[in-house]
Amino acid sequence: MKILLKPLQIIYVIYAMILFVVTMFIVIPFVIIASFFGKIKGGNAVMRIVHWWADVWLFMIGIFHIRIVEHEIREHQPYIFVSNHNSYIDIPQMLKAIRSPLRILGKAETGKIPLFGIIYNAAVVPVLRGSAQNRAKSVKTLKSVLSKEISIYIAPEGTFNMTDKPLIDFYDGAFRLAIETETPIKPMLFLDSVDRLHWSSVFSMTPGKLRTVYLEEISPEGYTPFDVEQFKQKVYTLMEKKLIEYKASWIKPSIPKGE
């Protein structure tokens, strides 16, 4: 049966990729116009445009978003949103999941990709690597964004989780920033992204559901810069527990040694 369905899946993926490129070309002129209105107004306009893009593209390829709200997002409250990271589809899913003013923390190098880089540079706060001065500049930009009631999205794993564990180790950045700016962390779970588009191959893409679980926010109140590890572990433990509870598909139970 899988052999018979494979040609259909290939056709579906080609259709999805063509739509991706076509819709990107349609969006880019609007992004360029919006970017003339400055980093704040223009950036907010760019994010609204890419929200609409995610709505249209996902609808046209038969992928639908489902919200599971354990704790709702508060209005006019900037957050540092964090999620697990398993797939390239995580970005469209994140755009569906977060509809408040937002910027994405991303690698500066990605902005050099032709076509996509135009949108990326307008919507992303780039991570500047290589020196303490560059890192300090990135942190200053992030603090400025948060002070204007604009949230930040960060994938704290830093790369795809290609294991059968709920999560891989988190980097410190999101949690250090939360403590320094006194901004709550808002964890989210992306339950189906690896099923819609596995990290191993673009030709694994399938239509279906994308569920986002909104967990309780975690305040950095009472934590100091010396408590980053403790604060990070609190968020990690909650997300790990909930991914297991929701039976995320990539998680495989560990087999005790000797069995």
pLDDT of residue 95: 94
Q: What confidence tens digit (pLDDT) does each residue in 226-248 have?
A: 999 999 999 999 999 999 999 99
Separation of CA 182 from chain center: 21
pLDDT of residue 111: 67
* Alpha-carbon distance values, 101 to 48, 147, 148, 149, 254 (Å): 8, 12, 9, 7, 40
In a domain, 254, yes or no: no
Q: Please tell me the pTM assigned to this model.
A: 0.90
- Work out the average pLDDT over 211-228: 96
Cross-strand bridge partners of residue 188:
83, 214
Q: What confidence tens digit (pLDDT) does each residue in 136-194 have?
A: 777 788 888 888 989 999 999 988 999 999 999 999 989 999 999 999 999 999 999 99
pLDDT of residue 35: 84
In a domain, 255, yes or no: no
In a domain, 257, yes or no: no
Model confidence at 115, in pLDDT bands (50, 70, 90)? low
CATH number, residue 39: 3.40.1130
Separation of CA 32 from chain center: 23
pLDDT of residue 55: 97
Residue 119 to residue 107: CA distance in whole angstroms: 14
In a domain, 224, yes or no: yes
CB 249 within 8 A of CB 229: no
In a domain, 27, yes or no: yes
- What is the domain extent for residue 214? 2-245
In a domain, 258, yes or no: no
Residue 129 to residue 138: CA distance in whole angstroms: 9
64: part of which helix (H) or strand (E)?
strand 63-69
> Among the listed ranges 4-8, 202-206, 242-246, which one has the minimum average pLDDT value?
4-8
Q: Considering its fold, how many domains does the chain have in total?
A: 1
In a domain, 251, yes or no: no
Residue 75 to residue 65: CA distance in whole angstroms: 21
In a domain, 256, yes or no: no
Residue 232 to residue 102: CA distance in whole angstroms: 22
pLDDT of residue 225: 92
pLDDT of residue 248: 96
Question: 135: which 2 tokens?
Answer: 């890192």
